[in-house]
């Protein structure tokens, strides 16, 4: 079974600065998908960024980028130019390619605070 670990329960960043959230995972599969989701107090789970494991190039979405290290099973999220609206709980998630349908395995989350 796959597991996802987020070792930072809380992180803080100053507005306009850069912050990196860590995620590691354990799997015996060679192909899979990794996601970062944002969950603000409204509870809606919002997709931030997605990475296919077979792609070596790190995914980017505007101010959000990932550092995907397949051999190390690491998938960190970098948020540049942090904004107050980035404050939320961030979850790293794993999805198998073969079988399991759309089952996502989530980490325990990192609460991001953005300070003025």
Residues in region 22-81 near other proteins by CB under 8 A: 33, 35, 37, 42-47, 50, 52
Exposed e or buried b for every residue in 16-35, given b needs 16+ CB within 10 A?
A: eeebebbbbbebeeeebbbb
The stretch among 12-20, 21-29, 60-68, 89-97 that binds other proteins (CB under 8 A) is 89-97
Distances 61 to 9, 16, 40, 48 between C-alpha atoms, Å: 24, 17, 18, 8
Q: From the CB of 41, what's the least distance to other proteins, in Å?
A: 12
Q: Pick the closer one to other proteins by CB: 16 or 51.
A: 51
Q: Which of 12, 30, 69, 108 binds other proteins (CB under 8 A)?
A: 108
Q: From the CB of 37, what's the least distance to other proteins, in Å?
A: 8
Q: Give the bridge partners for 67, in sequence order.
A: 76
Q: Do the beta carbons of residue 90 and residue 77 sit within 8 Å?
A: yes
Q: Pick the closer one to other proteins by CB: 98 or 116.
A: 98
101's enclosing H/E stretch is none
Q: Do the beta carbons of residue 115 and residue 15 sit within 8 Å?
A: yes
Binding site for other proteins (CB under 8 A): 4, 33, 35, 37, 42-47, 50, 52, 91, 93, 97-98, 100-109
């Amino acid at each position: 079974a796959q597991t996802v670990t987020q070792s930072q329960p809380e992180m803080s960043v100053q507005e306009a600065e850069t912050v990196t959230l860590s995620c590691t995972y354990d799997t015996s599969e060679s192909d899979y998908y990794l996601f970062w989701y944002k969950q603000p107090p409204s509870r809606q789970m919002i997709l931030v960024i997605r990475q296919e494991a077979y792609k070596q190039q790190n995914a980017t979405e505007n101010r959000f980028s990932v550092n995907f290290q397949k051999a190390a099973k690491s998938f960190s999220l970098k948020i540049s130019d942090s904004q107050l609206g980035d404050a939320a709980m961030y979850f790293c998630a794993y999805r198998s390619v073969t079988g399991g349908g759309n089952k996502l395995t989530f980490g325990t989350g990192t609460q991001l605070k953005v300070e003025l």
